[in-house]
Every structure is written in C-alpha cells, then in structure tokens.
Structure 1
Amino acid sequence: EEIRACFKILPNAEITTEANPGTVTAGSLAHLHRAGFNRISLGVQSLFDNELKRLGRIHTPKEAVRAFKDARSAGFTNINVDLMYGIPEETMDSWRSTLVRVLELEPEHISLYSLSVEEGTPFFQMYNSG
C-alpha cells in the first residue's frame, strides 16, 4: 500500500526487492511484504560455509534457509534465489548439493550467475598472484 500510494502501479504488477540472508529478519520481511513488495530475491549464492566465506558473504547456509522460510511465512508467494557457480573451492558435489537443497525449498525462480573475476576486486588480485 505504501508503494502504491507513492506511484501509479497496475494492480497485478510484480514489485520486487532484494535481500541479503544475513541482514533480514522475520520482522523486516513481514514489513517489506506489508509495504507492498510481492516478490523477493534472496542473495544466497551457495549453501556451503567455505564458499560463502570465499565470496565475503556475511550469512551462513542456515541463515539462508531461515531467510527463505521467513519470507514464505511473511507472505511472499514469489521468491527468487540467486546462486553463484565457479566459486573458488566449489566442487561439482557442492554445486549439486546446493542446487538440490535450494530446489527442496521450492522457490518460484532460481537465478544462476557465474563468478566473474573483475579488475580491482580481491579475486582479481588473488588470480593474478597465482
């Protein structure tokens, strides 16, 4: 309602917000849903601690699953999960496990992103130093 009060929006419009699993709470997710967001994208990336640490993420796998479940409980019926592949230390088994575990949550959408090494990032420095 808050969003619709500020902008002219079609009644069936998809209104998306993004969230980091390490910073959202059940309360903040409920507030976002009440504010008019009807879709949420969670930046999960991986469900393995070592891979999340390599990415500099602040959440744990447990927090990622909790954030997803809290989003459902808050009323979100359209949830996207962002995943990343090509992470240092990732294996085919860990990638497969992350995919299976996320699919078990039954998100409406999964976005897959390849890790890209860009100049000026810690990964670029690590890659160039061997």
Structure 2
Amino acid sequence: MKIKKPLPPFTMETALEKVQLAEDAWNSRDPQRVALAYTLDSEWRNRTEFINGRQEIINFLTRKWQKERNYKLRKELWGFRENRIAVRFEYEYQNQDNQWFRAYGNELWEFNAQGLMQKRYASINDLAISESERQI
C-alpha cells in the first residue's frame, strides 16, 4: 500500500502540513491528483452526497469542477488528535450563469496508518456574492 506522508499520529507541525497538502491538491482542480490522498475504499459525506472509493471521488470532483468554475480554496486547521484532523474551509467559485459564490464549511478527516484519508465528512453552505465581494 502506498504511503502518504506525513503519517499519524499527528503533531501540530504534521497536521498543518497535511492541511496545506490538501489545500494545494484541491486548488490544482485535478481529480486524479486529489484522489491519490484517499484510500481505495474511502468513505465521504459531502453535503448530502455519499461517496465511496477513489473512482467515485474522481467522478464527483470531475462533476464538481465542471460546475464550479474559477474555484479557489483555503483550508485552516481547527484541531487534531492521533489519526484525525478537523478543518475549517472556505472557497469561492463561479457557476455556469457567472454568479459568484463563497462556500463555508467544516471537514472531519480520519487517516489510516499509511497516511491516506479513509473518511471525510464535509458540511458546506453556499452564499451568493458579487464579484466585488470576492476575498480569495
């Protein structure tokens, strides 16, 4: 099985590194790259959608970034313990009608011993904004 450093149990330094690596990967908007951080049987809850496994992750992210154009994300470490990390995030995107949105949310992550995320639970809310209100 592939190893994805840093590995649990997390310290402040390694938890911050894991969050930054995730932010960088998601900002690439490359579903294949993002999916490599997850186990083959990873479990997600994203809003009201339940996703299982890397292929479903790739399919989900492909659809997401086709709809959410000009996507830009920031993640912030909120807490960590052993093999778990909590993150606060916000991102901005433009829909197909050129309306801008800012999405706010929280994620709970659980990692296996090889540093791959095996569970991701995300709660997300969207706020319509004008282009002049963009912050990211």
Q: Same fold (TM over 0.5)?
A: no
TM bin, normalised by shorter chain, reads under 0.3
TM (normalized to structure 2)?
0.27
Q: Which has the higher contact order (CA 8 A, sep 6+)?
A: 2
Q: Decide which structure has greater strand share.
A: 2
TM (normalized to structure 1)?
0.27
Q: Which has the larger radius of gyration?
A: 1
